[in-house]
């Protein structure tokens, strides 16, 4: 018996260091050494790169800075950090001693004698005062709460990464919305320029008809082209206002506060520098969605240990102490206390506890597949954006030359028409070619800018700018991925 008493504390000490469930190991996946159309050189940390400044657009820079911590999606993600911090405390609270206290007071008496007059003062016949305190402590032999805290800490890490995910989505949508607004303004300016040119052609046709060298059909055809241009302007105006409204929503303000600023026309944003893409392995460090997926995997892995701990016995130390005092003709005190362990052993539960382990294991495997899918999607996004951007530059350069050729052809067609060597149809065709090539060039510049944004977002550029540094909650260590 003495041996048992001596070994019991040692056994409890050894059990207290036992943590069931798999220990987390960071996942790994095979990635190529370089992207298809990039040099195999690391880009380093891209999360603090303000890539939008390469557009050299002061208005865009101002809007990005203004909305960095005003975007409602970002604010929601920031608030989820507070929720995750509270969950860390909640997850570990069950493994700490719990103490509760209470008390009560009552007055009582019998019919006819509830109030008695003594020394000229009416008072109750008796008063009862009682108080109690209780304490309990679940000994975490198999790491239930340690695994729960591990899971909560990983979820907190993911909450910080999700702020960067929201911020990256905000940067992507705000810049592309601004690019669209400037595109619609450029298209409007081009259409008004086309309208002026087509009105000049209409006047030229009317003058030639007045001289007897042109028919009414020529005039009607020229008028039709003018009216067609007038009909194309309202949809472009609608596109601009819708883009301005969207930008205001992204900034968390009413549209009326942004639209007047954007009405002042500006050039279409065009990137002035190329982007260092890096290598696929950089994405695991720089992409916040990949880091968040990895942290979710860590949280799910820890939950396996939480589920497995339920398969084993649990020991709880309980104790209570109570005191009571009765004030009456006969007074007295009563004090009671109790203390002892409670052992709970799962014997038969219909397979529910084992099923919980299987569920936790399956969830962890799903999170691994989700992480791997996120990595592969990131690689695909970089490849697609880079491929598109390289060819966008080629397209824009060719379209600039096409616009110059069509403008020269229009000038020659007008001169030829004045001299009677060609028909009005030649002039109108030249007008259409100039208008279409100008709008196509503007659209291609928009695509180039959008693909530049997509490439920088795909490599995680700027995602950590103005993001709060993780503050460890009580008992929490910041993960290395931060």
pLDDT at 266: 86
Smallest CA-to-CA distance from 75 within 156, 167, 178 is with 167
In the predicted model, is pLDDT for residue 111 greater than 70? no
Give the CA diameter of the chain: 134
Burial class (CB in 10 A: 0-12, 13-18, 19+), 225: buried
pLDDT at 327: 63
| Radius of gyration of the chain, Cα coordinates, nearest whole angstrom | 38
End-to-end CA distance of the chain: 53
Concatenating the DSSP letter of every residue in 222-279 gives HHHHHHHHHHHHHHHHHHHHHHHHHHHHHHTS-GGGTHHHHHS--PPP--SS------
What mean pLDDT do residues 463-476 have?
A: 60
Phi, psi (deg, nearest 5) at residue 228: -60, -40
Q: What is the mean pLDDT of residues 47-59?
A: 94
Q: H or E element: which one contains 219?
A: helix 216-251
**Tokens representing residue 476 in the block:** 């929490």
Residue 328 pLDDT exceeds 90: no
- Residue 367 predicted with pLDDT over 90: yes
What does pTM read for this prediction?
0.82
Question: Are the beta carbons of 111 and 125 closer than 8 angstroms?
Answer: no
Band (207; pLDDT cuts 50, 70, 90): confident
CA 351 to chain CA centroid, nearest Å = 39
**What pLDDT does residue 83 have?**
86
The string of pLDDT tens digits covering residues 377-410 is 999 999 999 999 999 999 999 999 999 999 999 9
Picking from 211, 171, 197, the residue whose alpha carbon sits closest to that of residue 74 is 171
pLDDT at 194: 87
Please classify residue 124 by burial: count the beta carbons closer than 10 Å to its beta carbon, then call 0-12 exposed, 13-18 middle and 19+ buried.
Answer: middle
- Return the structure tokens found at 126: 């008796």
For residue 175, pLDDT over 50 is answered with yes
- Residue 433: per-residue pLDDT: 92
Six-digit token string for 36: 């298809």
- Domains in the chain: ranges and CATH: 15-95+141-310+350-458 (1.20.1600.10), 97-139+312-345 (2.20.200)
Question: Which whole number is the average pLDDT over 182-204?
Answer: 90
CB neighbour list of residue 62: distance below 8 Å, 6 or more residues apart: none
Q: What share of the chain is helix, strand, coil (3-state, %, to 5)?
A: 60, 10, 25
Decide if pLDDT at 469 tops 70. Answer: no
In percent, the amount of the chain with pLDDT more than 90 equals: 43
CA 125: distance to chain centroid?
68
- pLDDT at position 40 is 80
Cα–Cα distance for residue pair 248/453, rounded to 1 Å: 19
């Amino acid at each position: 018996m003495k041996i048992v008493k001596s070994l019991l504390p040692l056994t409890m000490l050894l059990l207290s260091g036992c943590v069931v469930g798999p220990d987390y190991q960071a996942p790994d996946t095979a990635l190529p050494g370089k992207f298809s159309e990039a040099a195999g050189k690391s880009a380093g940390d891209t999360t603090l790169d303000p890539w939008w400044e390469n557009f050299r657009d002061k208005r865009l820079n101002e809007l990005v800075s203004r909305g960095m911590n005003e975007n409602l999606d970002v604010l929601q993600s920031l608030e989820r950090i507070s929720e995750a911090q509270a969950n860390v405390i909640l997850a570990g609270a069950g493994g700490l001693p719990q103490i509760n206290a209470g008390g009560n007071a009552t007055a009582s008496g019998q019919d006819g004698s509830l109030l008695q007059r003594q020394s000229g003062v009416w008072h109750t016949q008796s008063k009862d005062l009682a108080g109690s305190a209780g304490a309990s402590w679940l000994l975490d032999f198999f790491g239930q709460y340690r695994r729960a805290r591990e899971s909560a800490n990983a979820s907190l890490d993911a909450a910080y990464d999700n702020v960067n995910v929201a911020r990256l989505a905000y940067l992507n949508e705000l810049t592309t919305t601004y690019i669209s607004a400037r595109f619609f303004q450029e298209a409007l300016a081009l259409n008004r320029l086309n309208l002026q040119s087509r009105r000049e052609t209409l006047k030229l046709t009317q003058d030639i008809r007045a001289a007897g060298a042109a028919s009414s059909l020529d005039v009607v055809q020229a008028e039709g082209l003018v009216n067609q241009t007038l009909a194309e302007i309202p949809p472009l105006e609608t596109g601009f206002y819708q883009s301005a409204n969207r930008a205001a929503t992204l900034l968390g303000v009413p549209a009326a506060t942004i639209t007047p600023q954007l009405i002042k026309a500006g050039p279409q944003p065009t990137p002035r520098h190329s982007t260092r893409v890096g290598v696929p392995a950089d994405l695991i460090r720089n992409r916040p969605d990949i880091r968040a997926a990895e942290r979710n995997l860590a949280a799910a892995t820890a939950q396996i240990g939480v589920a497995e701990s339920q398969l084993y016995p649990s020991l709880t130390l309980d104790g209570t102490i109570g005191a009571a005092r009765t004030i009456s003709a006969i007074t007295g005190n009563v004090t009671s206390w109790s203390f002892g362990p409670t052992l709970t052993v799962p014997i038969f539960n219909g397979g529910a506890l084992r099923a919980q382990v299987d569920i936790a294991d399956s969830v962890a495997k799903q999170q691994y597949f989700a992480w791997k899918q996120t990595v592969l999607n990131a690689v695909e996004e970089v490849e697609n954006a880079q491929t598109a951007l390289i060819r966008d530059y080629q397209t824009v350069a060719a379209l600039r030359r096409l616009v110059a050729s069509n403008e020269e052809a229009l000038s020659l067609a007008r001169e030829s028409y004045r001299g009677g060597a060609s028909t009005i149809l030649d002039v109108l065709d030249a007008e259409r070619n100039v208008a279409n090539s100008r709008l196509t060039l503007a659209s291609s510049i928009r695509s180039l800018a959008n693909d530049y944004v997509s490439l920088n977002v795909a490599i995680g550029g700027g995602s950590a700018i103005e993001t709060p540094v993780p503050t460890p909650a009580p008992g929490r260590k910041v993960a290395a991925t931060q």
